[in-house]
Chains A and B, each alone.
Chain A
Amino acid sequence: MLEAFLYFIQQILNGLTIGSTYALIAIGYTMVYGIIGMINFAHGEVYMIGTYVSFVVIAGLTMLGIEYVPIIILAALTIAIIVSSSFGWAIERTAYRPLRGANRLIPLISAIGMSIFLQNFVVNAQGARDVAIPPMISGGWTFGTENFQASLSYMQLIIFIATFICMSALTLFISKSRMGRACRAVAEDIKMANLLGINTNRVISATFVIGASLAAVAGLLLGLYYGVANPHIGFIAGLKAFTAAVLGGIGSIPGAMLGGIILGLTESLTAAYISSEWKDAVSFSLLVLILLFKPTGLLGKQEVEKV
């Protein structure tokens, strides 16, 4: 009985871990959609680049003989954010801005092209095979009986805390800062925002940069958690995060957070109680079910026809 409960708790912890990182990546999808009404299909690649940059920094600093882990991770975080957000910015400039005002399908195609380009760019630069780093943060707490031990690793705790900090900072930024206010105005009525003198191009760039920074944080966290990466991790992570965004209601930031957590929990519980082969099938069935009953997603707003 106790063991069954501990097993359940363990699955919840694992689900929250993976769900937090989905949520971090999902923010990028949902913000871009909220502002320009398009899905940034290259966003998964930005996350993948975040992981790679972290690995390069970690490997480099380790080779230089630096052993103090917080310094290494802080450096990896900073550089991953800078590089990923530059990519996010560049994606908007090259794949979206020249096509602003074109038929919606066209930027979709160019974003998919950008995604393929970035994958192959990393394949050429870093090789197509898995790269690995040694575990940086090991250990944790275990609790339970002799038969079953549930554990919360330090790494999981760091993922929770980092996600919590990022989400709180983002929420504050959106609700309180001037740029956040401009973001909300542009999301609601871009034409009117432009008319009031808001530099909408700058707001759109900011959205891509913020989304990319959060994806970089997710890249570092998941990179440290799994310890391996390859140039194709962006595709599946992007798909999952996109699902999370749609599940929560695309365009809604709290929705992306909630969607990520729900998706992570569904996956880990399915893997534990049904079979890990079924976890994707169950998560996507859940998506279909939710969209059937609530087409705008869990926290999405009903689209009101503009007069």
Chain B
Amino acid sequence: MTNKTLLNVSDLRMQFGGLVAVNGVNLRVEEGQIVSIIGPNGAGKTTVFNCLSGFYTPTSGVVEFMGEEIQKLPDFKISLKGMVRTFQHVRLFNEMTVVENLLVAQHRHSNTNLLSGLFNTPAYKKSEERAMHRARYWLDKVGLTDVANREAGNLSYGQQRRLEIARCMVTEPKLLLLDEPAAGLNPKETKDLDNLIVSLKEDYHVSVLLIEHDMNLVMGISDNIYVINQGTPLASGTPEEIKGNPDVIKAYLGEV
């Protein structure tokens, strides 16, 4: 193994009362990889995401991110460490403009208080300029420069999806968790998304963990795929291995 392991999940289990939503899931994301989690609806994919990103504290199991156990940490600490997620339903600040959504995401990069803003100190100005510069860069990258000053809630669905990814990227993450980013997109928008994700990996060295139902997208860009069914791991491997796996076909299509 030449790559460094970024995320290593072993024996993850999440139980809600008597319901075992996720059981015995193992995952590994190497630096610079795009890894996908697929599985039928209700298989527990989003629950896995919620455990990784700190929304849930897993019942048992270990989540290691950059060599550090994080399964007990609250969500915002995990995102500060560089693991940032998107949601199945887009969650933007709808009443703020597109560019403001990107600026507010960089809030933590600038340790300013109430007074420095009031008096417009040089340090404050400089860090605002930096934030603006980075926001502009990513707006251009995801093709939203023209709508920069529109309210985020008024964007088309595809634009909102791209804005959400841009909002993650301005925080300079190491690992991006994307929860069904192609849901609700038309084929053209899905193609753009495909290119964007590959570019994140190749140009910015960000690893991606992806939940997706669009098999063309998944098979086209993944280095590795994990299949989950009813909360338990079913198979894992390269796209070619998964395509030919009879168990996977059975889980998706039922008994043939």
Q: Which residues in A have some Cβ–Cβ distance to B below 8 Å?
A: 173, 177-182, 184-185, 188-189, 192-199, 202, 206, 209, 307
CB distance A189 to B91 under 8 Å?
yes
Q: Which chain B positions have C-beta within 8 A of A199?
A: 108
Q: Binding site of B, secondary structure by majority: helix, strand, loop or mixed? A: helix
Q: Which chain B positions have C-beta within 8 A of A192?
A: 91, 93
Given contacts A177-B117, A198-B104, A206-B114, contact A188 B94 (CB under 8 A): yes
Give the segment of B1-9, B75-83, B154-162, B212-220 that binds chain A. B75-83
Given A179-B117, A195-B75, A197-B171, 14 new contacts (CB under 8 A): A178-B110, A179-B113, A184-B93, A184-B95, A185-B96, A185-B104, A188-B96, A194-B75, A196-B79, A197-B76, A197-B80, A197-B107, A199-B108, A202-B113
Q: Which chain B positions have C-beta within 8 A of A193?
A: 93, 104
CB distance A196 to B107 under 8 Å?
yes
Q: Does B105 make an interface contact (CB < 8 A)?
A: yes
CB distance A195 to B79 under 8 Å?
yes
Q: Does B112 make an interface contact (CB < 8 A)?
A: yes
Closest-CB distance, A196 to chain B (whole angstroms): 5
CB distance A179 to B79 under 8 Å?
no
Closest-CB distance, A253 to chain B (whole angstroms): 13
Q: Which chain B positions have C-beta within 8 A of A180?
A: 117
CB distance A198 to B107 under 8 Å?
yes
Q: Which residues of chain B from 113 to 149 have a CB within 8 Å of any chain A CB? A: 113-114, 117-118, 124, 128
Q: Does B14 make an interface contact (CB < 8 A)?
A: no
CB distance A209 to B114 under 8 Å?
yes
Q: Nearest 9 pairs between A and B by C-beta? A: A197-B108, A177-B117, A185-B104, A198-B107, A196-B105, A307-B89, A194-B76, A188-B93, A181-B104
Residue of B nearest to A307 (CB): B89
Q: How far is the CA of A165 from the CA of B199 in the complex (A)?
A: 49
- 18 A–B pairs (Cβ distance < 8 Å), ordered by A: A173-B117, A173-B118, A177-B117, A178-B103, A178-B124, A179-B113, A181-B100, A181-B104, A182-B107, A193-B93, A193-B104, A194-B76, A196-B108, A197-B79, A197-B108, A199-B108, A202-B113, A209-B114
Closest-CB distance, B126 to chain A (whole angstroms): 12
Residue of B nearest to A183 (CB): B104
Chain B residues within 8 Å of chain A by Cβ, number: 26
Q: How far is the CA of A196 from the CA of B110 in the complex (A)?
A: 13
CB distance A178 to B112 under 8 Å?
yes
CB distance A184 to B107 under 8 Å?
no
Residue of B nearest to A169 (CB): B118
Q: How far is the CA of A178 from the CA of B95 in the complex (A)?
A: 16
Query: A177, A196, A199, A209: which has the most chain B beta carbons within 10 Å?
Result: A196
Residue of A nearest to B152 (CB): A188
CB distance B96 to A181 under 8 Å?
yes
